């Protein structure tokens, strides 16, 4: 990226608030961290799964990607691929919230989440700058180094520092929750795709309860 290129970071204020307001700090480091959380932390009686369904097969691991959204709804046991605990009122709210009154709208909603929704040019650019810098330095860039690289690429100084602080703050929280032995110092956020992908998985699961698909298709 040339130094004269301008990175529009006007939305970073809302991004930062969103990062810390949502209980999604487990997912931003990607599917790997979420997998460890599901397998090692969640079974510790904090969230009871359904005894009718597995908690450790491929289907359970796939559903677990939408764990945060499914539990927050709530939709019943996280590993229930039918979201059978949704009440009529909750189904109505889901339809209104996501605009999925029809099967076509449901399919379009999932498509949007796995494509457009998970790709914010500003986020992708800033994280790509960090990854490129890490490759050159052969280590994770320090806060000042990353912010300076964003600014050099045309980013606003204040917004760049805010973005760096927000991402690194999430990384710190994840390490405290999961453990530094799992999320080691050399691991860092490379993408913010995880939250939107989790939403897509949850929406696919809810679609079964809404009558838009059967379990095999949703999975």
Q: What would the pLDDT profile of 74-84 be if each residue is shown by its tens digit?
A: 677 888 899 88
- Domain spans of the chain, in order of start: 1-77+85-219
Mean of pLDDT over the chain = 80
For residue 52, pLDDT beyond 60: yes
Measured CA angle at 41 (ends 35, 46), to 5 deg: 125
Q: So what's the pLDDT on residue 14? A: 54
Q: So what's the pLDDT on residue 175? A: 86
Mean pLDDT value across residues 33-50:
54
Q: What percentage of the chain reaches a pLDDT higher than 70?
A: 77
Mean pLDDT lowest for which of 15-24, 100-109, 121-130?
A: 15-24
Query: In terms of pLDDT, which residue wins out, 144 or 114?
Result: 144
105 token code pair:
């709208």
Q: What would the pLDDT profile of 164-190 be if each residue is shown by its tens digit?
A: 999 999 899 878 877 888 888 899 998
Q: Write a three-state SS string for the chain.
A: CCCCCCCCCCCHHHHHHHHHHCCCCCCCCCHHHHHHHHHHHCCCCCCCCCCCCCCCCHHHHHHHCCHHHHHHCCCCCCCCCCCCCCCHHHHHHHHHHHCCCCHHHHHHHHHHHHCCCCCCHHHHHHHHHHHHHHHHHCCCCCHHHHHHHHHHCCCCHHHHHHHHHHHHHHHHHHHHHHCCCCCCCCCCCCCCHHHHHHHHHHHHHHHHHCCCCCHHHHC
Q: So what's the pLDDT on residue 42? A: 46
For residue 13, pLDDT beyond 60: no
Query: In terms of pLDDT, which residue wins out, 173 or 30?
Result: 173
Mean pLDDT value across residues 150-175:
91
Q: So what's the pLDDT on residue 92? A: 93
For residue 49, pLDDT beyond 60: yes
């Amino acid at each position: 990226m040339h130094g004269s290129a301008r990175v529009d970071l006007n939305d970073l204020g809302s991004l930062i608030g969103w990062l810390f307001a949502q209980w999604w700090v487990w997912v931003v480091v990607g599917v790997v961290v979420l997998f460890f959380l599901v397998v090692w932390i969640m079974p510790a009686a904090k969230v009871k799964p359904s005894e009718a369904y597995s908690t450790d097969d491929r289907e359970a691991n796939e559903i677990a990607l939408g764990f945060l959204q499914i539990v927050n709804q709530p939709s019943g046991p996280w590993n229930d691929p039918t979201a059978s605990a949704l009440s009529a009122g909750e189904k109505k709210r889901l339809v209104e919230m996501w605009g999925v009154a029809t099967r076509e709208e449901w399919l379009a909603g999932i498509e949007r989440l796995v494509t457009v929704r998970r790709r914010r040019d500003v986020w992708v650019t800033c994280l790509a700058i960090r990854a490129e810098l890490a490759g050159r330095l052969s280590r994770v860039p320090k806060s000042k180094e990353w912010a300076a690289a964003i600014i050099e690429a045309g980013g606003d100084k204040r917004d760049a520092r805010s973005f760096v602080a927000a991402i690194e703050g999430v990384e710190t929280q994840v390490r405290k929750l999961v453990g530094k032995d799992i999320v080691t110092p050399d691991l860092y956020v490379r993408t913010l795709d995880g939250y939107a992908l989790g939403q897509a998985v949850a929406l696919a699961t809810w679609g079964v309860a809404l009558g838009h698909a059967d379990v095999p298709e949703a999975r």
